[in-house]
């Protein structure tokens, strides 16, 4: 594609034909409505994937070096097509079958320069069908009379994309990583929208958008921690750790509301536990819950930090001297660090067991204190408590209460001897 390329010019000269369908926009856009917009049958070689789409932005590392031009447009499209197929091959296969059997039932949206802003999976399915059947395919889409090159149009384009894919129509949920990265890119990097505007157009709460944005920063911290590209968000997707990072972020924020050095070191230790969990497998939710409850929130947390410090430093040195670009690289590095992780794991388990013993001991003593308090209250009330009165009991009930108290006295004498024997 070249900068001067215009789909609407191709409409005017008859290269692109309307289908006769009229779109119903999912939101009000100044100057655009069903009266001046049409759905067209567009040849696939006139179109290209939108690198600013929320579902593609997390693949930044894979596509960042492929610029679009008249010569390499096919290369760019081929790379993005593979990413879309790898992200969910089952959905793509189903979409392709539906289009093959019934035709394209849902139109997409494209910009005047050929950028596809809605309908990536349908566009991909048609590209593959064209190759597989050797029959020319067309992407049916609305052509919006704007281009991404004009920055003033980008908020309008983003609003439409959010309405189509996340908000009003809510056709397909974004992957959590894709959604978070899209917020970060739109609000922080491109500064197309304010956070509140993004939330409104995406049909989300401001709190939910803020939470996703915070996870992006934590994803970048994790990627930097393992010496990977800080924008290699695909690695987070491959490892399936978004939810765990989100939980780590919430726990750290609760414990360290003002951030600071202690929080940063605790974050590194949490990442270390994340490494260990990925290496050994098992119940991820329980693993992180046990770590925070039994170690981070325990009185012996500082002792734990002192014991693991040397091993954590060894881990960090290894990562700093290794280039991590894929999940395979990362897992290979973890396996090389297995001895250190085993030692850290033992210290963690010992800390959790010690915490549990302390908790059990305190709970036991508290239960005895409550029994003692109940007996003291009875003594003060001359055998009764609260608003109870003797005339509420008959002789049989009073005899039963007396027998219970006598047995408690006998058991107490035996137990006192047992405790004396342990001193």
DSSP letters, 17-62, are EE-S-----SS-BTTBSTTT--EEEEEGGG-EE-TTSHHHHTTHHH
Determine the average pLDDT of the residues in 171-191: 85
Its pTM stands at 0.75
Q: In terms of DSSP bridges, do strands 17-18 and 48-49 run parallel, antiparallel, or are they unpaired?
A: unpaired
d(CA 129, CA 140): 15
Task: Supply 1's token pair.
Answer: 């594609």
Backbone angles phi, psi at 133, to 5 degrees: -100, -10
The CB density around residue 93, as the number of other CB atoms within 10 Å, is: 13
Question: Which of 112-116, 153-157, 269-273 has the least mean pLDDT?
Answer: 153-157
Number of H helices, E strands in the chain: 18, 6
pLDDT of residue 202: 86
pLDDT of residue 44: 95
Determine the average pLDDT of the residues in 364-381: 90
Percentage of the chain beyond pLDDT 90 is 59
d(CA 244, CA 140): 40
Task: Supply 116's token pair.
Answer: 């596809």
How far apart are the two ends of the chain, measured CA to CA in Å?
87
- Confirm if 355 and 298 have CB atoms less than 8 A apart: yes
Is residue 182's pLDDT more than 50?
Answer: yes
Q: Computed over its alpha carbons, how large is the radius of gyration of the chain? A: 32
Q: pLDDT tens for residues 210-229?
A: 999 999 999 999 999 999 99
Question: Residue 1 — pLDDT band, cuts 50, 70, 90?
Answer: very low
Q: What ranges do the domains of the chain cover?
A: 1-173, 179-363, 364-422
Q: pLDDT tens for residues 281-303?
A: 877 778 888 899 899 988 889 99
pLDDT of residue 69: 41
Mean pLDDT for the chain?
Answer: 88
Q: How far is CA 62 from CA 5, 67, 148, 229, 235, in A?
A: 26, 12, 21, 11, 11
pLDDT of residue 160: 84
Question: Residue 172 — pLDDT band, cuts 50, 70, 90?
Answer: low
Is residue 151's pLDDT more than 80?
Answer: no
Task: Supply 332's token pair.
Answer: 């290979």
pLDDT of residue 60: 54
Is residue 107's pLDDT more than 80?
Answer: yes
């Amino acid at each position: 594609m070249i900068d001067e390329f215009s789909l609407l010019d191709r409409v005017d000269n008859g290269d692109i034909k309307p289908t006769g369908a009229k779109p119903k926009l999912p939101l009000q856009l100044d100057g655009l409505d069903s009266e001046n917009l049409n759905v067209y049958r567009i040849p696939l070689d006139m179109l290209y994937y939108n690198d600013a789409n929320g579902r593609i932005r997390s693949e930044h590392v894979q596509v960042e070096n492929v610029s679009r031009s008249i010569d390499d447009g096919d290369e760019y499209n081929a790379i993005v097509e593979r990413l879309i197929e790898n992200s969910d091959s089952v959905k793509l296969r189903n979409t392709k079958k539906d289009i093959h059997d019934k035709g394209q039932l849902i139109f997409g949206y494209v910009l005047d320069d050929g950028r596809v802003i809605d309908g990536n999976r349908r566009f991909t399915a048609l590209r593959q069908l064209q190759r597989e059947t050797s029959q020319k395919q067309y992407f049916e889409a609305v052509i919006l009379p704007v281009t991404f090159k004009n920055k003033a149009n980008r908020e309008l384009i983003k609003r439409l994309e959010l309405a189509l894919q996340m908000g009003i129509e809510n056709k397909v949920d974004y992957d959590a990583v894709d959604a978070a990265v899209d917020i970060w890119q739109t609000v922080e990097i491109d500064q197309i929208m304010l956070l509140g505007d993004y939330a409104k157009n995406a049909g989300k709460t401001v709190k939910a958008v803020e939470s996703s944005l915070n996870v992006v920063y934590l994803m970048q911290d994790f990627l930097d921690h393992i010496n990977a590209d800080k924008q290699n968000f695909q690695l987070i997707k491959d490892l399936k750790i978004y939810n765990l990072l989100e939980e780590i972020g919430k726990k750290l924020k609760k414990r360290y509301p003002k951030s600071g050095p202690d929080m940063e070191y605790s974050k590194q230790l949490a990442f270390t536990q994340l490494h260990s969990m990925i290496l050994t497998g098992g119940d991820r939710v329980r693993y992180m819950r046990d770590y925070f409850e039994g170690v981070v929130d325990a009185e012996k947390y500082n002792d734990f930090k002192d014991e693991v410090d040397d091993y954590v430093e060894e881990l960090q040195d290894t990562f700093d001297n290794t280039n991590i670009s894929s999940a395979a690289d990362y897992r290979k590095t973890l396996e090389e660090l297995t001895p250190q992780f085993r030692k850290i794991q033992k210290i963690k388990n010992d800390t959790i067991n010690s915490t549990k013993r302390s908790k059990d001991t305190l709970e036991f003593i508290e239960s005895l204190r409550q029994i003692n308090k109940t007996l003291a209250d009875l003594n003060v009330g001359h055998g009764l408590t609260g608003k109870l009165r003797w005339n509420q009991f008959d002789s049989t009930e009073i005899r039963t209460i007396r027998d219970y108290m006598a047995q408690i006295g006998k058991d107490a004498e035996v137990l006192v001897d047992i405790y004396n024997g342990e001193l």
